[in-house]
């Protein structure tokens, strides 16, 4: 942009210099898949497709008369609902409601947390080796450096000295990996030893499978705030959670963070200045959702049945599923280039997520979402099992 004034002309680029949004590369594969005679089965992005439960919609509608500004910190009733949910569902008793903060979806917090923590040039943000791209974007927005590592063990001393934030994603997106109590505790202890914050993205925690499925005699997915992990202290810890998946309200942008008192207080203050506020009707909907476990169980049952239908079909197509212990995705490989697999599936009308979108360690993999209707999942399974 040319900027003119008396005696001067300058050229300057405006806007954050971020990479192109990766999903734009899917356009030709979407076109191919859309030509299938039985229609497209889009399993590339994990956006919920099932109806929002009536009690949540009713809570939203009942709060629609909201002429005043909502509170950035969230209503006291919402924060108490979060605390009760942590105690009931996540084995985290005794949280202080003051140490809870509603956010405009969890992606917003992931992207802005490094900046809101005051990170900048010279600081390091550690994120999982195969990870949701927004962890890297958040570091870049703050001017910090993102480093891919699943623990702090392999980092050299010079890098370790600059680590200010460690992201955990358990259950992981896209891999579905779950970090157990011992592994989480080790990361927390290492981070605390160097004064780094640990932020744990736990938005798939209600969707554990196998050993992590309480409905099938498994154990719940552990939280970073679990006393067995935290040692009974929230110091330097944040747990981040979204209701998008468990409650089918991705369109509401409803999430929250909880943990270290001083960090939450600082985030509340910064967000007041920036106007980062969850609308009051959404806060009321969140409170209703957090107080009802039955709709979460029903939705998980749907995802479980879809998962059990897809697993043998993917195997018949020659795909091997790795990890995928929890969450809404199956992390698969055919032992070939990622885009070759994406193309072969597109020819059958099935669109999937390329593993390369999640870092170099994702090369050769694809991510298959469970977020299709029963009819579309059944159609995908039939196509995968068909000869030719």
Q: Per-residue confidence at 226, pLDDT binned at 50, 70, 90? A: very high
Percentage with pLDDT > 70 across the chain: 96
Contact at 8 Å (CB) between 324 and 366?
Answer: no
Handedness of CA 137, 143, 148, 149 (dihedral sign): negative
pLDDT band at 2 (very low <50, low <70, confident <90, very high): very low
Judge whether 178 and 326 are in contact, CB under 8 Å.
Answer: yes
Mean per-residue pLDDT of the chain:
95
Domain boundaries, the chain: 20-51+295-385, 55-291
User: Which overall architecture, per CATH, does domain 55-291 show?
Assistant: 3-Layer(aba) Sandwich (3.40)
Residue 272 pLDDT > 70: yes
**388, pLDDT greater than 80:** no
* Right CATH for 20-51+295-385 from 3.90.1150.10, 3.65.10.10, 1.20.1260.10, 1.25.40.80: 3.90.1150.10
Q: Is the pLDDT of residue 51 over 60?
A: yes
Rg of the chain (C-alpha set): 22
**What's residue 12's pLDDT?**
64
pLDDT in the model for residue 11: 63
Give the pTM: 0.93
Strands (DSSP E) along the chain, which ranges? Answer: 2-5, 8-11, 41-43, 100-104, 124-127, 145-148, 163-169, 197-201, 237-242, 254-259, 320-322, 329-333, 350-354, 365-369
Once rounded to an integer, what is the mean pLDDT over residues 11-27?
Answer: 76
Residue 3 has a pLDDT of 45
Would you say 338 and 354 are in contact if contact means Cβ atoms under 8 Å apart?
yes
Mean pLDDT, range 40-58, rounded to an integer: 96
Cis peptide before 171 (omega within 30 of 0): yes
Tokens of 341: 């697999």
């Amino acid at each position: 942009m040319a900027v003119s004034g008396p005696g001067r002309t300058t050229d300057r680029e405006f806007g954050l210099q971020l990479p192109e949004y990766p999903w734009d590369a899917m356009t030709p594969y979407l076109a191919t898949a859309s030509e299938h005679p039985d229609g497209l089965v889009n399993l590339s992005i994990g956006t919920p497709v099932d109806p929002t439960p009536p009690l949540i919609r009713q809570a939203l509608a009942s709060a629609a008369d909201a002429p005043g500004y909502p509170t950035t910190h969230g209503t006291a009733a919402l924060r108490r609902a979060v605390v009760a949910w942590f105690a009931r569902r996540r084995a985290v008793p005794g949280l202080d409601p003051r140490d809870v903060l509603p956010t405009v979806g969890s992606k917003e917090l992931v992207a802005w947390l490094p900046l809101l923590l005051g990170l900048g040039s010279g600081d390091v943000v550690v994120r999982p080796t195969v990870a949701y791209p927004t962890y890297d974007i958040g570091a870049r927005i703050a001017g910090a450096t993102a480093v891919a590592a699943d623990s702090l063990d392999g980092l050299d001393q010079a890098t370790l000295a600059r680590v200010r934030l460690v992201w955990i994603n358990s259950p992981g997106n896209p891999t579905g990996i779950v970090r157990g109590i011992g592994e989480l505790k080790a990361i927390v202890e290492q981070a605390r030893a160097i004064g780094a914050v640990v932020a744990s993205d736990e938005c798939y925690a209600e969707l554990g499978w196998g050993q992590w499925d309480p409905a099938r005699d498994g154990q719940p997915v552990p939280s970073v705030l679990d006393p067995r992990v935290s040692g009974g202290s929230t110091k330097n810890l944040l747990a981040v959670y979204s209701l998008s998946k468990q409650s089918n309200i991705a369109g509401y942008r409803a999430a929250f963070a909880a943990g270290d008192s001083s960090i939450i207080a600082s985030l509340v203050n910064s967000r007041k200045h920036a106007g980062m506020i969850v609308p009051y009707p959404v806060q009321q909907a969140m409170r209703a959702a957090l107080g009802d476990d039955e709709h979460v169980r029903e939705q998980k049952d749907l995802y479980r049945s879809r998962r059990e239908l897809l697993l043998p079909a993917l195997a018949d197509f020659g795909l091997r599923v790795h990890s995928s212990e929890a969450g809404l995705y199956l992390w698969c490989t055919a032992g070939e280039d990622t885009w070759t697999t994406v193309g072969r599936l597109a020819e059958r009308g099935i669109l999937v997520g390329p593993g390369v979108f999640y870092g170099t360690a994702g090369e050769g993999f694809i991510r298959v979402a469970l977020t299709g209707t029963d009819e579309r999942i059944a159609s995908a399974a039939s196509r995968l099992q068909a000869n030719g």
